Chains A and B, each alone.
Chain A
Amino acid sequence: MGFLDALLGKSRLPKPKPDKLFAISTAYITLNTNLNLKSEGAGICFKPLEASRFESAEVELRELLQQSCKETNTQYNIKKDSFGYIWVALNDPEFEDLVTTVYMVSETLKEKDFGEQLLCAVFKFRDDSEVYWIYNFKKAAFYPFAPLPDKKRNSSYEFRLRSIMDRELPIEKNVERCIRCGIFLYEKYDDCRITWMPKSYSASGTSITLI
Chain B
Amino acid sequence: MKKWYRDYGLQARMILTMFLLAVVYLFFLDVLWAYAGVGTTGLIFIAGFFLLIQFFFSDKLVLWSMGGRIVTEQEEPRLHETVSRLCAIADLPKPKIAIVESNVPNAFATGRSKDSAVVAVTTSLKQKLSQPELEAVLAHELSHVKNRDMLVITIASFLSTVAFFLVRNMMFMGMMGGGNRDRDRGAGAAIIVFVVSLVVWVISFLLIRALSRYREFAADRGSAMITGQPSHLASALMAISGVMERVPSRDLREVEGMNAFFIIPAISGDSIMGLLSTHPPVEARIRALEQMERKMEF
A-to-B contact residues, CB < 8 Å: 1, 6-14, 47-54, 82-85, 113, 116-120, 136, 138-139, 174, 176-177, 179-182, 185-186, 188-189, 192
Q: Is the CB of A11 within 8 A of B225?
A: yes
Across-interface contacts of A51 in B (CB, < 8 A)? 228, 296-297
Chain B positions within 8 Å of A48 at CB level: 228
Residue of B nearest to A6 (CB): B148
Question: Nearest CB to that of B85 among chain A residues?
Answer: A119
A192 and B229 in contact, given A8-B14, A51-B296 (Cβ under 8 angstroms): no
**B131 and A10 within 8 A (CB):** no
Most-contacted residue by chain A among B87, B89, B297 (CB, 10 A): B89
The yes or no answer to B250 lying at the interface (CB within 8 A) is: no
Q: Which of B49-57, B201-209, B212-220, B241-249 lies at the interface with chain A?
A: B212-220
Query: By CB atoms of chain A within 10 A, which of B15, B143, B214, B222 has the most?
Result: B222
Known A177-B93, A177-B94; judge A50-B88 contact (CB<8 A). Answer: no
Q: Name the A residues within 8 Å of B87 (CB-CB).
A: 177, 179
Nearest opposing residue in chain B for A45, CB measure: B85
Q: Are B88 and A138 in contact (CB under 8 A)?
A: yes
| Residues in B whose Cβ lies below 8 Å from that of A120 | 88
- A50 near B296 with CB under 8 A, answer yes
Interface set of B (CB-CB < 8 Å, partner A) = 1-2, 6, 11, 14-15, 18, 74, 77-78, 81-82, 84-85, 87-91, 93-94, 131-132, 135, 143, 146-149, 151-152, 214-215, 218-219, 221-222, 225-232, 293, 296-297
Is B90 a contact partner of A176 (Cβ separation < 8 A)? no
Question: Which residues on A sit within 8 Å (CB–CB) of B152?
Answer: 6-7
7 contacts between A and B (CB under 8 A): A6-B151, A13-B226, A49-B296, A51-B297, A113-B1, A119-B85, A181-B85
CA distance A113 to B232 in the complex (A): 21
**Interchain nearest-CB distance for B35 vs A (Å):** 31
- With A83-B135, A186-B77 already in contact, the answer to whether A50 and B146 are too (CB < 8 A) is no
For residue A52, which residues in chain B have a CB less than 8 angstroms away from its CB? 297
Given the interface pairs A84-B135, A116-B89, the reply to whether A11 lies near B2 with Cβ below 8 Å is: no
Q: Which residues of B contact A85 (CB under 8 A)?
A: 85
**Number of contacts between A and B (CB, 8 Å)?**
117
Assembly CA distance A120 to B86 (angstroms) = 12
B91 and A14 contacting across the interface, CB-CB below 8 Å: yes
Rounded to whole Å, the gap between the CB of B209 and the closest CB of chain A is 15
| Smallest beta-carbon distance A142→chain B, Å | 13
Q: How far is the CB of B10 from chain A (nearest CB, A)?
A: 8
Question: Which of chain A's residues have a CB closer than 8 A to the CB of B85?
Answer: 47, 83, 85, 119, 179, 181-182
Task: Flag if B94 contacts A11 (CB, 8 Å).
Answer: no
| Structural contact, A180 and B293, CB atoms closer than 8 A | no
Which chain B residue has the least Cβ–Cβ distance from A185?
B77
Known contacts A11-B143, A13-B89: A117-B228 contact under CB 8 Å: yes
Give the distance to chain B from A21, nearest Cβ to Cβ, in Å. Answer: 16
A138 touches B94 (CB 8 A): no
- Enumerate chain B residues within 8 angstroms of A54, measured Cβ to Cβ: 228
- Chain A residue nearest to B148 (CB atoms) is A6
Which residues of A sit under 8 angstroms from B82, Cβ to Cβ?
83
The distance from the CB of B71 to the nearest CB of chain A, in whole angstroms, is: 13
A114 to B181, CA, bound (A): 74
Closest to B86 in A: A47
Contact of B18 with A7 in the complex, beta carbons under 8 Å: yes
User: In the complex the two chains form, is A11's CB within 8 Å of B222's CB?
Assistant: yes
Q: Which residues of A contact B229 (CB under 8 A)?
A: 49-50
Sorted nearest first, the 4 A-B pairs with minimum C-beta distance are A9-B218, A49-B228, A179-B84, A11-B222
Seed contacts A6-B152, A50-B231, A176-B93; 13 additional CB < 8 Å A-B pairs:
A9-B149, A9-B219, A14-B91, A47-B227, A49-B228, A50-B296, A51-B228, A82-B131, A84-B131, A138-B91, A182-B85, A189-B77, A189-B81
Q: What separation, in Å, do the CA atoms of A120 and B218 have in the docked complex?
A: 26
Contact between A8 and B89, CB atoms less than 8 A apart: no
Q: Which residue of chain A has its CB nearest to the CB of B73?
A: A186
**Complex: A52 Cα to B84 Cα, angstroms:** 27
A52 nearest CB across to chain B (Å): 6
Q: Which single member of A9, A13, A185, A192 contacts B14 (CB below 8 Å)?
A: A9
- A174 touching B93 by the CB < 8 A rule? yes
